Amino acid sequence: MPDKKYQTILLFGAPGAGKGTQGSILATVPGFHHISTGDMFRTLDLHSDLGKVFYEHSSKGDLVPDEVTIELWKQYAKAQSILGVFKPYEDLLVLDGVPRTTKQAELMEEYVDVLEVVHLVCHDMDAMIKRLRRRALRQNRADDAREDVIRNRFQVYLEETRPVLEYYPADIVREVDAVGSPGAVLQHILEVVVPVQEAHFKNQLDD
């Protein structure tokens, strides 16, 4: 377990809002470490017990059960810190795709200090569906290839994930316009996360 909680920024938004794209770009900036639970799950061997659990849920557009998800996430973050690719004392952790339920937010409370929630807002459902379909083709993803599965993913988002926004204090939730080119969206995200990084950087110098 970390002796200190991970200092964390959450990338939040509906499927197709661009969390993964933006998270990977942020990860190229020193001092940010990006973890996507979707990517974490996709690295599992589909023949393993956990891989089978993942496939069973994700192929229908459903969420993997909370306890399994948070346990795996915890071990994944820990493994990365042991390998030295994630430096919890220096890096800000950028989480994408987790927590996805209020229960997950509660289970993670022990391990993360959420400094800011970046809510990528896109009201254009068609644009998001188009993004998902393009990605399904590129990445060969079973969950985004079928219209009914995509619809279920949005339903699950509205019912289970969106309420997570209310779990955090309103003053740390920042809305960012997710419509536009990746560069424009990145610019909006940087406007809200750079001050957090500045403060984190300064705290480290003072420690």
- Contacting residues toward ligand AMP, per CB under 6 A: 15, 37-38, 41, 57-58, 61-64, 69, 97-98, 100, 104, 143, 153
Shortest spacing between CB 41 and ligand AMP, in angstroms? 5
Nearer to ligand AMP, 59 or 200 (CB): 59
Residue with nearest beta carbon to ligand AMP: 38
Q: In the complex with ligand AMP, which residue's Cβ is closer, 63 or 128?
A: 63
Q: Which string of DSSP letters, residue by residue, matches 9-27?
A: EEEEESTTSSHHHHHHHHT
Tell the smallest beta-carbon distance from residue 184 to ligand AMP (Å).
22
User: Rounded to the nearest whole angstrom, what is the least distance from the CB of residue 166 to ligand AMP in the complex?
Assistant: 17
- Please say whether the beta carbons of 114 and 8 come within 8 A: yes
Task: Measure the CA–CA gap between 30 and 146, rounded to whole angstroms.
Answer: 37
- Taking the complex as a whole, the smallest distance from the CB of residue 63 to ligand AMP amounts, in Å, to 4
Residue 143 beta carbon to ligand AMP: minimum distance, rounded to whole angstroms: 5
Instruction: Using the minimum distance from each CB to ligand AMP, give the nearer residue, 58 or 81.
Output: 58
Residue with Cβ nearer ligand AMP (91 or 143)? 143
3-state secondary structure 80-106: HHHHCCCCCCCCEEEEECCCCCHHHHH
Among candidate residues 39, 171, 35, the one with its CA nearest the CA of residue 112 = 35
How far lies 181's CA from each of 96, 164, 187, in Å? 19, 27, 10
Nearer of residues 7 and 69 to ligand AMP, judged by Cβ:
69
Distance of CA 94 to the CA centre of its chain: 7
**Neighbour tally for 18: CB within 10 Å:** 24
